[in-house]
Amino acid sequence: MNLTLRIWRQSDPTDKGRMVTYPVDDVSPDMSFLEMLDVLNERLILAGEEPVAFDHDCREGICGACGMMINGNAHGPQRGTTACQLHMRQFSDGETIDIEPWRARAFPVIKDLVVNRGAFDKIVAAGGYITAPTGSAPEAHSTPVAKANADAAFESAACIGCGACVAACPNGSGMLFTAAKVTQLSLLPQGQPERYTRVIGMVDAHDEAGFGGCTNAGECTVVCPKGIPLNTIGRLNGDYLKATAKRGDTPGT
């Protein structure tokens, strides 16, 4: 198939950036979206032009590196699919495809389609863990976990930190990402001791890192490649309320 790509080119964080049009011929429907970009890049290099920079690593939907807006959709048109898992059979011959980086205040563009998602790390560093000094862990079987809770925790643990939820959110909020981690850890007995300090730490770090507030727009869960459900945010809010009440705060301040 033959395609026209319109790709965001931005040489560095200070560059204003622009869309540039590239025709790409002989695309096989069996190619992944990133393989199609590889083909373009090989041609650009031989033509003496700068290849398009994009992040990727695992190319199988587990590392979260490859996010990009494809025709205005985070990770493209197929639900539950990262850009690296998207295959060209989802597109038709002759189509024009717009490709842009995540756009969010907390994720500044580094170059072309590459953004800095380091703000997520800051949220995790502020509480997205269970304190368990190495060597002091109790025998794993000493605390059973009800299968239903274990399964629900697992569902939330599937988040790959890709940032699609942020890119799709009209407010640039990182609440789904934060809520996924809060939910996973607060469903497990091991996560109870830090349950309330965790949620406050993470939400504060989220706000400080420049993410917007959540207004329940629900776009995040639609684009999430791992199907993290919106009710995790409800759970986070519940924990946050209890936590601030414990701390004697007025909620929302």
Partner 1 sequence: MHRLAQVSVEIIDQCVAQGVPFAREYGGLLDTRSFGGAQVQRTFYARGQTGQQLLLGAYQALERQIGLGNVEMNSRHEMLELVIVDGKARGIVVRDLVTGEISTEMADAVVLASGGYGNVFYLSTNAKGCNVTATWRAHRKGAYFANPCYTQIHPTCIPVSGDHQSKLTLMSESLRNDGRVWVPKAEGDDRSPKDIPEDERDYYLERIYPSFGNLVPRDIASRAAKAVCDQGRGVGPTKLGVYLDFADAINRLGRQAIEAKYGNLFEMYERITGEDPYEVPMRIYPAVHYTMGGLWVDYDLQSTIPGLFVIGEANFSDHGANRLGASALMQGLADGYFVLPSTLANYLASGPLEKVDASHPEAVAARADVEDRIGRLLAVNGDRTVDSFHRELGQIMWEHCGMERSEAGLRKAIDEIRALRDQFWQRVRVSGDGEGLNQSLEKAGRVADFFELAELMCIDALHREESCGGHFRAEHQTPDGEAQRDDERFAYVAAWEYTGTGEPSVLHKEDLKFEYVHPSQRSYK
Query: Out of 165, 185, 187, 214, which residue is the one contacting ligand SF4 (CB under 6 A)?
Result: 165
CA distance 178 to 171: 15
Binding positions for ligand SF4, 196-225, rule CB under 6 A = 224-225
Of 91 and 177, CB closest to ligand SF4? 177
Cβ pair 65, 110 in contact under 8 A: no
CA-based nearest residue to 70, from 48, 91, 52: 91
Pattern 110-149, binding to partner 1, x per CB under 8 A? xx--x---x--x--xxx-xxxxx-xx-xxxxx-xxxxx--
Of 39 and 217, CB closest to partner 1? 39
CB of 226 to ligand SF4, least distance (A): 4
CB of 57 to ligand FES, least distance (A): 5
Kind and range of the H or E element at 9? strand 3-9
CA distance 106 to 238: 25
How big is the site for partner 1, counted in residues (CB under 8 A)? 73
Find the part of the chain contacting ligand SF4 (CB under 6 A) among 100-108, 153-161, 186-194, 243-251. 153-161
**Residue 63 DSSP label:** S
Which residues lie near ligand FES (CB under 6 A)? 56-59, 61-66, 82, 84
Binding positions for ligand SF4, 172-191, rule CB under 6 A = 176-177, 180
Of 55 and 155, CB closest to ligand FES? 55
CB of 164 to ligand SF4, least distance (A): 4
CA distance 165 to 228: 10
Cβ pair 185, 128 in contact under 8 A: yes
Cβ-based neighbour number of residue 93 at 10 Å = 9
Residue pointed to by tokens 């420049």: 210
Of 68 and 228, CB closest to ligand SF4? 228
Residue pointed to by tokens 């759970």: 235
CA distance 112 to 213: 27
Query: Out of 1, 24, 44, 222, which residue is the one contacting partner 1 (CB under 8 A)?
Result: 44
Question: Does residue 228 belong to the site contacting ligand SF4 (CB under 6 A)?
Answer: yes
Binding positions for partner 1, 154-173, rule CB under 8 A = 154, 157-158, 160
Kind and range of the H or E element at 147? helix 147-157
Which amino acid makes up residue 159? C
CA angle, residues 15, 20, 22, in degrees to nearest 5: 145
CB of 53 to ligand SF4, least distance (A): 21
Question: Does residue 38 belong to the site contacting partner 1 (CB under 8 A)?
Answer: yes
Cβ pair 58, 160 in contact under 8 A: no
Provide the binding-site residues for ligand SF4, judged by CB under 6 A.
159-165, 176-177, 180, 224-226, 228
